[in-house]
Structure 1
Amino acid sequence: MIENGDLILSYLQRLGVEFVFGVPGGSIEPFYNALARSERRGGTRAIIARHETGAAFMADGYTRETGKIGVCCSTAGPGATNLITGVASAYADGIPMLVISAQTAIEKFGRGALQDGSCTGINTLEIFTHCTRFNTLVSHSAQVEHKLLQAISYAISNRPGPVHLSVPLDVMRDTIEDTEQKATLRAFINHEVVPSQEAMHLVLKELADKNKVTVVIGEGAAGAIDTIIALIESRNWQFVTTPRAKGLVNNFHPLYRGVFGFAGHESARDALLPENAERVVVVGTALDEVSTSGWDSSAIMSRRLIHLSSNSEHLSRSYMAKLCILGSIELMLKPFSALLNRHPLRKQISRQFNTDGLPSNIQFAHPEKCFSDDSPIKPQALMTYMSAVCPDDTRVLMDSGNSFLWGIHYWNCKRPHPFNPHKSLFHIGIGFSSMGWAIGAAVGIAAGAKGKPVVCFTGDGSMLMSGQEITTALQERLNVLFIVLNDSALGMVRHGQRIGGAEPIGNELPSINFAQMAQAMGVEAYRIEHMSDLKQLDIQALLNRHAPCLLDVVIDREEVPPMGARMKVLTGAA
């Protein structure tokens, strides 16, 4: 006989899931008992976060790095409600995640039990309704297997996202026959949609005679990115990325014009103007504020648009497009991949640098500040230096606020070739923009990355919210380099209030030495007040150790990040 917790874990192990991120508690105890038994067998094991939101962020990061479903869990009541922000973040970014929350025993429902999250208490199941793809109470032992498999099917579908199982204590610890599971898991593979031949003929006809085409690469292009780049090179088209897709390409490619959208580059916008793009081909992204620079009608949002995606929700706002094609980008391009890879123009492509080492075809705001030695440290210089000295395969995360504004614009990805086409090297949790997301997600990415370098940029506001999660990296011996942009302020709020003419309220933070804080937690840390302090460190050595490190970087709080598109939306400007 086995318990239902063991049954759940047996399926997770078959799916290759190595970790469950969470915080233990009374009502979830049977599941942690099963995790302990699993770990002794060398199977799926627990990683303990400091807060359930951090656990959900970690599961998010693990999925991004491995492609496997991330799993997080919590006890009943406040454990479940603490998960919500992390789950909502995954929902907004379309990240597959299995969320397991506990309930008190069914017989205790409605009797005022401790942490009662049932329909007769604080209804936590109802709270998850609007941030999950599938959400259910497992009320009987016989439901566990089929509801688990149904949930996973929803999570990894063509409209991916988090799913939630709410499992009462007595159901989780109920025993069942220890027989081999009947499910084959075939439902979880080969579910990509093949675009229709008619649709493909329309696209080919539309692009056959167009010389001026700009391709907008979105996060949904992962997997097909090598073939997409080969197509771009064979036609000598320009291309840009959305902020989320920045890490799918080498930013030094001579046909790359930078990021279009939130905190993007003027060169990317120029590449999308009618005089430079007879057609704009958008691949694998939704037409949201972040990806369209506040729905700029002079760039993507026009009749020149050809929108390709495997996610039907991505196409729901493409009502102005010339063509919309639903289907797998990989399957769409597969018939042409061999031909494209043999194309003679591909041999001429190499990285292109300016004399100062910046990508030559990207127009940066204030490029002179990228090499400033001024103190306090210019964020532009910090991003430029760190992206230059970190290994080409560094996974970098930018937290919400000034961090992702500076990172989107100034971090230069040097994506090596060949590299796993399904993986990105640049991560932002920008759909819901939760502060502290990157701290937890970096732990999850590092857990899945098996020693590859991981760098997390976060702000002092986010660090005060979620900084305790660095101790999870310490406990798990994960090599994450945490870099705190310390300006003693909620920087994005502060600059936004100034630019928008709002009252300067609530944006100041106390002066804190985060290096000392990290050292008190047992994490190696350094206070960086001058660029010379940073340049004295052996960054590669710090990234090669099985331990986290933190850099507390005092930045120039008067430097305004590239937030023009965001302010246009907030102020209602044309």
Structure 2
Amino acid sequence: MESHVESMYARVALATAGGVRVVPTPDVKATTKNNADVIIEGLASRGIQHIFLVPGKLVYPLIKSIEHSTITGIVGAHETACGFMADGYARASRKFGVCLGISGPGTMNFLPAMAAAQADKIPVLYLAGGIATYHEAQGAFQDGSNSGLDELTIVKPLLSTAIEVKNNLTLPHELRRSLSCLNTQRKGRAYLSVPIDMQKTVAAGRNQPELLRIPACREAAVDQPALDMLLDNYLLRGLNVACLVGSRVNNPPDAELLLRVAEKYRLPVATTLSGKGAFPEDHELALGLYGFAGHTRAVETINGDSVDVLLVLGCDLSQRDSLNWDPKLHGTKTLVVIDEDFDKASSHYQPDVQIFSNLHGSLQGLLHIINDDDARLVCVNRLRDQWMKQVRMLPLEQQQSDLVARIAQGEANMYPGDVIKHLRRRTADDANVVVDSGAHRIFMAHHWQARGCGDYHTSSSLAPMGWAICAGIGIKLAAPQRDCLVVTGDGCMLMHGMEIQTAARYQVKMTFVVMNNSAHGAVHIDTLQNRGVSAAYTALPNHDWKAFANSLGVASACATTLEELDHALSAAAEHDGPFLIEVMVGNHVAPNHYYAESIRAYEQRIKGI
């Protein structure tokens, strides 16, 4: 990296009509690095290209350092949204995300994003600028130190590490300590607060390049004896083995390996909601989605008696993944779990075999541990192919009984599933699709066919509304070579719809689809089935989201028919920046019955019925 001493010019990111442009400007910074420089250069040395921030006086030195670095600063409207953007950036980049704000109110606005990242185990660095140390204990504004709000105590439960730097000599150590947990293996989250006077202080140490040195860490430990046991005891025996795949395999390199392993051993694969995108759902070995809004083939097969061994890969067997802790998931089958997470796979099931091993390395090991023409493998695969002929007789999607009736009654708005299938046909196979929380999440999970290249992203554990609008921006910036489609709802737009102006400001080419059903749809569905509260609490005013987008500089269109949706998608493809399509859809019951049935069964179990 070229130092400020050696360069007469710096790079400044400008938001222009043509997008984010980096231009050279005379370098007026002092030749000696301050602590802000050390922090930003440390992030740049780890491959970080974007930082998502809300500006403030307490982070001026850090912003100046960003201006003179190779990193582009993306200014968002709200710190929560910046945290969601960093979350998305981490998912798509396979690095970690970084967001920046002031201490006090800025840090408190990071909290929802911290909680979402913790729930989904996404590595993010939350960087904050604190009040000057000489203002502590004086009732200073926005004081997040332990003499003010004491924000470290508040954020610590959501993070792997939370640090406030007060000593110039320890800053390099604290920076390295914060960054040490930010990778796809440890999946940590870190908060680093640096008082503004500390940011301005000349960095300690005469040999400053040493501060940027990155240790060579080998953290991909593979349990080879366990893989040998898995091969001998299960994969090379005449057993029906199925896979259930979670979020930690839902990325392009691991998804590619998973496909090859499944084809090698003829293993049918189901994914959880957070793992949707890890396996192509049009493949002959695809069982589809298990759990929340799941597919018939996946639920009936995984919960059935024909499976002898269920191989769980990178999956937390949590509520949505297991259909409310359905005992049929374990049943009489052998439950084998392989994961690289340090936490337990589940507190509700006791695996028969639990293997702690790097997932990427384990998949590579299974792929190469035996030749394709091995007689034992050929024999068991012939048996599994016979089993798969029976499994494939089960459909993926269920018939939508209420759709025919509603059309007969003169339904004016489109069925969400028809819209989703149309979007799938018009969207590139390798596009990143980012899905928000609401009724559209249910219909997307059931009707959208993932292509199995780590192409489906959703915050599936905490599931905050509006997450996808922001995370989609981070995902597109991290993977600019792939198209990006954000599917959200009108309720989500009320929460974080303002962030489409961030996409417009930086001319980020992506498409936002707003499924407008004039309701908080997920709970409104309950009112349709007489299970929820009054519709007065779940219905929403029919806002004009096309006009809203135009007011923020985002090109837009509204579609009430599939033909109009076609025209809108063509316009979005030709447009250079972000494009919003408002789609008018109706409120329909959930597209499957398994989740509702599991809730009733769970309620009966806890009542002892």
- Look up the match of 2:132: 105
- Look up the match of 1:354: none
Tell me by how many angstroms 1:49 deviates.
0.6
Gaps of 5+ in 2: 1-31, 382-391
Q: Deviations over 1:478-507 (max 9, x none)?
A: 111101111111111222345463331521
Q: Give the aligned length.
A: 549
Query: 1:137/1:374 Cα in 2 relative to 1: closer, same or farther (>3 Å)?
Result: same
2:471 partner SS: helix
* Separation in 2, partners of 1:234, 1:451: 30
Identity across the alignment (%): 25
- Look up the match of 1:181: 210
- Amino acid across the alignment from 2:431: T
Query: 1:122/1:178 Cα in 2 relative to 1: closer, same or farther (>3 Å)?
Result: same
Equivalent in 211, 231, 240 of residue 212 of structure 1: 240
Asked if 1:137 is matched to 2:137, the reply is: no
Query: 1:79/1:284 Cα in 2 relative to 1: closer, same or farther (>3 Å)?
Result: same
- Look up the match of 2:181: 154
Tell me by how many angstroms 1:91 deviates.
0.9
Q: Which is further off, 391-400 or 115-124?
A: 115-124
- Look up the match of 1:352: none
Asked if 1:466 is matched to 2:496, the reply is: yes
Q: If you compute each CA radius of gyration, which structure gives the higher value, 1 or 2? A: 2
Asked if 1:365 is matched to 2:398, the reply is: yes
Tell me by how many angstroms 1:259 deviates.
0.4
Equivalent in 114, 117, 122 of residue 87 of structure 1: 114
- Determine if contact 1:451/1:479 at 8 Å carries over to the other structure: no
Tell me by how many angstroms 1:316 deviates.
4.8
Asked if 1:118 is matched to 2:137, the reply is: no
- Determine if contact 1:200/1:332 at 8 Å carries over to the other structure: no
Asked if 1:525 is matched to 2:556, the reply is: yes
- Look up the match of 1:395: 432
- Look up the match of 2:194: 167
Matches within 5 A, 1:428-467: 428-467=458-497
Q: Deviations over 1:220-267 (max 9, x none)?
A: 224433333223223322211111111122111011011001111121
Equivalent in 60, 63, 88 of residue 29 of structure 1: 60
Gaps of 5+ in 1: 349-358
- Look up the match of 2:385: none
- Determine if contact 1:439/1:466 at 8 Å carries over to the other structure: yes
* Separation in 2, partners of 1:81, 1:487: 32
Tell me by how many angstroms 1:184 deviates.
3.3
Asked if 1:263 is matched to 2:293, the reply is: yes
Query: 1:437/1:340 Cα in 2 relative to 1: closer, same or farther (>3 Å)?
Result: farther
Tell me by how many angstroms 1:164 deviates.
0.6
Q: Deviations over 1:271-326 (max 9, x none)?
A: 21343201110001111112112111112476521011011214353752210000
- Determine if contact 1:138/1:144 at 8 Å carries over to the other structure: yes
* Separation in 1, partners of 2:227, 2:263: 23
* Separation in 1, partners of 2:372, 2:212: 42
* Separation in 1, partners of 2:591, 2:173: 49
* Separation in 1, partners of 2:83, 2:310: 36
- Amino acid across the alignment from 2:220: E
* Separation in 2, partners of 1:258, 1:80: 39
- Look up the match of 1:242: 272
* Separation in 1, partners of 2:347, 2:186: 15
- Look up the match of 2:449: 412
Equivalent in 87, 93, 101 of residue 66 of structure 1: 93
Query: 1:320/1:230 Cα in 2 relative to 1: closer, same or farther (>3 Å)?
Result: same
Query: 1:111/1:475 Cα in 2 relative to 1: closer, same or farther (>3 Å)?
Result: same
- Amino acid across the alignment from 1:293: L
Matches within 5 A, 1:280-299: 280-299=310-329
Tell me by how many angstroms 1:178 deviates.
7.1
Q: Deviations over 1:176-228 (max 9, x none)?
A: 257212453225x4211221515642553133313311111222224433333
Q: Which is further off, 503-512 or 480-489?
A: 503-512
- Look up the match of 2:339: 309
- Look up the match of 1:334: 364
- Look up the match of 2:420: 383
1:84 partner SS: helix
* Separation in 2, partners of 1:175, 1:511: 55
* Separation in 2, partners of 1:378, 1:411: 13
- Look up the match of 1:6: 37
Query: 1:362/1:247 Cα in 2 relative to 1: closer, same or farther (>3 Å)?
Result: farther
TM-score using structure 2 length: 0.84
* Separation in 1, partners of 2:313, 2:60: 44
Query: 1:527/1:183 Cα in 2 relative to 1: closer, same or farther (>3 Å)?
Result: closer
1:244 partner SS: coil
- Determine if contact 1:59/1:72 at 8 Å carries over to the other structure: yes
Query: 1:546/1:64 Cα in 2 relative to 1: closer, same or farther (>3 Å)?
Result: farther
- Determine if contact 1:284/1:314 at 8 Å carries over to the other structure: no
* Separation in 2, partners of 1:509, 1:472: 25
* Separation in 2, partners of 1:318, 1:502: 28
- Amino acid across the alignment from 2:362: M
- Look up the match of 1:353: none
- Look up the match of 2:24: none
- Amino acid across the alignment from 1:516: A
Tell me by how many angstroms 1:399 deviates.
0.2
* Separation in 1, partners of 2:269, 2:332: 17
- Amino acid across the alignment from 2:354: C
Cα RMSD, aligned residues only = 2.7
* Separation in 2, partners of 1:8, 1:179: 12
* Separation in 2, partners of 1:474, 1:566: 40
- Amino acid across the alignment from 1:327: S
Query: 1:301/1:510 Cα in 2 relative to 1: closer, same or farther (>3 Å)?
Result: farther
Q: Deviations over 1:75-120 (max 9, x none)?
A: 1211110111011111110111111112111121121111111112
- Amino acid across the alignment from 1:46: G
Query: 1:155/1:301 Cα in 2 relative to 1: closer, same or farther (>3 Å)?
Result: farther
- Amino acid across the alignment from 2:496: S
- Determine if contact 2:235/2:265 at 8 Å carries over to the other structure: no
- Look up the match of 1:194: 222
Query: 1:561/1:135 Cα in 2 relative to 1: closer, same or farther (>3 Å)?
Result: farther
- Amino acid across the alignment from 1:363: L
Q: Deviations over 1:423-470 (max 9, x none)?
A: x10001111111110000000011112242100011111101111100
- Determine if contact 1:262/1:563 at 8 Å carries over to the other structure: no
Q: Which is further off, 209-218 or 298-307?
A: 298-307
2:210 partner SS: coil
* Separation in 2, partners of 1:491, 1:532: 24
Tell me by how many angstroms 1:538 deviates.
4.2
- Determine if contact 2:160/2:188 at 8 Å carries over to the other structure: yes
Asked if 1:427 is matched to 2:457, the reply is: yes
Query: 1:161/1:218 Cα in 2 relative to 1: closer, same or farther (>3 Å)?
Result: same
* Separation in 2, partners of 1:427, 1:404: 11
Q: Which is further off, 45-54 or 273-282?
A: 273-282
Q: Deviations over 1:390-443 (max 9, x none)?
A: 11111001101112211111111234xxx6xxxx10001111111110000000
Q: Deviations over 1:21-41 (max 9, x none)?
A: 010101111111111122xxx
- Determine if contact 2:568/2:581 at 8 Å carries over to the other structure: no
2:269 partner SS: strand
